[in-house]
Amino acid sequence: MFAFTALALVLALGAYVLVGLGRRGHVPVSIGLYGSIFVAGFVGAALVIRRFAPNADPALFPTAGVLTGLGFAMIFRLSGGLAAEQATWIVIGLLGFCATLIVVRDHRQLDAYTYTIGLVGLVLLLLPIVPGIGRTINGARLWVRLGPIGFQPSEIGKVLIVVFLASYLNQKRELLGVATGGWGPLRLPPAKHLLPVLLAWAASLAVLFLQRDLGASLLYFAIFVVMLWVATGRGAYLAIGLVLFAAGAAIGYAAFSHVQLRVDVWLHALDPDKVFGVGYGQLAQAQFGMGTGGLVGAGLGRGSPGLIPFASTDFIFAAIGEELGMLGAVGVLLLYVVLVGKGLRAALACPDGFGKLLATGLATAVGIQAFVIVGGVTRVIPLTGVTLPFVSYGGSSLVSNFVLLALLVRISSGPAPVRPRGG
Q: What is the pLDDT of residue 237?
A: 79
Q: What is the pLDDT of residue 190?
A: 63
* Angstrom distance (rounded) from CA 124 to CA 162: 13
* Angstrom distance (rounded) from CA 125 to CA 161: 9
State the pLDDT confidence band at 13, using cuts at 50, 70 and 90. Answer: very high
Residue 349 lies in a domain: yes
* Angstrom distance (rounded) from CA 368 to CA 373: 9
Residue 115 lies in a domain: yes
Question: With contact defined as beta carbons under 8 Å apart, do 118 and 160 qualify?
Answer: yes
State the pLDDT confidence band at 365, using cuts at 50, 70 and 90. Answer: very high
Residue 419 lies in a domain: no
What SS3 state is found at 279?
coil
Q: Give the percent of the chain with pLDDT over 70.
A: 88
Residue 423 lies in a domain: no
* Angstrom distance (rounded) from CA 308 to CA 315: 7
Residue 184 lies in a domain: yes
Q: What are the beta bridge partners of residue 145?
A: 150
Q: What is the pLDDT of residue 48?
A: 96
* Angstrom distance (rounded) from CA 160 to CA 111: 12
Q: What is the pLDDT of residue 36?
A: 94
Confidence check: pLDDT of 50 > 50: yes
Q: Report the pLDDT averaged over residues 84-110.
A: 95
Confidence check: pLDDT of 341 > 90: yes
Q: Which of 13-17, 84-88, 155-159 has the lowest mean pLDDT?
A: 155-159
Residue 421 lies in a domain: no
Q: What is the pLDDT of residue 423?
A: 42
Which one has a higher pLDDT value, 99 or 268? 99
Q: What is the pLDDT of residue 342?
A: 96
* Angstrom distance (rounded) from CA 179 to CA 221: 22
- Structural domain tally of the chain? 1
Q: Report the pLDDT averaged over residues 213-220.
A: 77
Going 54 to 55 to 61 to 62, the CA torsion angle's sign is positive
State the pLDDT confidence band at 253, using cuts at 50, 70 and 90. Answer: confident
Among 91-100, 193-202, 239-248, 259-268, the range with the most confident prediction by mean pLDDT is 91-100
State the pLDDT confidence band at 421, using cuts at 50, 70 and 90. Answer: low
Confidence check: pLDDT of 219 > 80: yes
DSSP H or E stretch at residue 83: helix 80-103
Confidence check: pLDDT of 277 > 70: no
DSSP secondary structure of 360-399: HHHHHHHHHHHHHHHHHHTTSS----PPPTTTSS-HHHHH
Q: Report the pLDDT averaged over residues 32-57.
A: 94
Question: Cα angle at 82 between 80 and 85, to 5 degrees?
Answer: 130
Burial of 115 (0-12, 13-18, 19+ CB in 10 A): exposed
Q: Which of 68-82, 172-186, 215-229, 245-259 has the lowest mean pLDDT?
A: 172-186
Which segments of 127-194 does DSSP mark as H helices, in order?
153-177
Q: Report the pLDDT averaged over residues 109-127.
A: 87
| Distances from the Cα of 250 to the Cα of 105, 205, 257, 260, 286, angstroms | 44, 11, 12, 10, 27
Which one has a higher pLDDT value, 275 or 119? 119
For 175-187, how does the pLDDT look when each residue is reduced to its tens digit (9 = 90+)? 776 665 555 555 6
DSSP 143: E
Q: What is the pLDDT of residue 171?
A: 86
- Give φ, ψ of 258 to 5 degrees: -70, -30
Question: With contact defined as beta carbons under 8 Å apart, do 228 and 176 qualify?
Answer: yes
Question: With contact defined as beta carbons under 8 Å apart, do 377 and 317 qualify?
Answer: yes
* Helices 214-232 and 353-377, axial angle in degrees (round to 10): 140
* Angstrom distance (rounded) from CA 150 to CA 147: 8
Confidence check: pLDDT of 114 > 60: yes
Burial of 224 (0-12, 13-18, 19+ CB in 10 A): buried
Confidence check: pLDDT of 383 > 90: no
Residue 137 lies in a domain: yes
Containing structural domain, residue 354: 2-413
Question: Cα angle at 396 between 63 and 385, to 5 degrees?
Answer: 85
Closest by alpha carbon to 367, among 394, 347, 396? 347
State the pLDDT confidence band at 134, using cuts at 50, 70 and 90. Answer: confident
What's the predicted TM-score (pTM) here? Answer: 0.91
Confidence check: pLDDT of 413 > 90: yes
Average per-residue pLDDT for the chain: 86
Ramachandran sector of residue 279 (left: φ over 0; alpha: ψ -120 to 50; beta: rest)? left
For 282-340, how does the pLDDT look when each residue is reduced to its tens digit (9 = 90+)? 888 888 899 989 999 999 988 888 888 778 888 899 999 999 999 999 999 999 999 99
What SS3 state is found at 28?
coil
Confidence check: pLDDT of 141 > 90: no
Q: What is the pLDDT of residue 276?
A: 67
Going 355 to 359 to 364 to 365, the CA torsion angle's sign is positive
DSSP H or E stretch at residue 141: strand 140-146
Residue 111 lies in a domain: yes
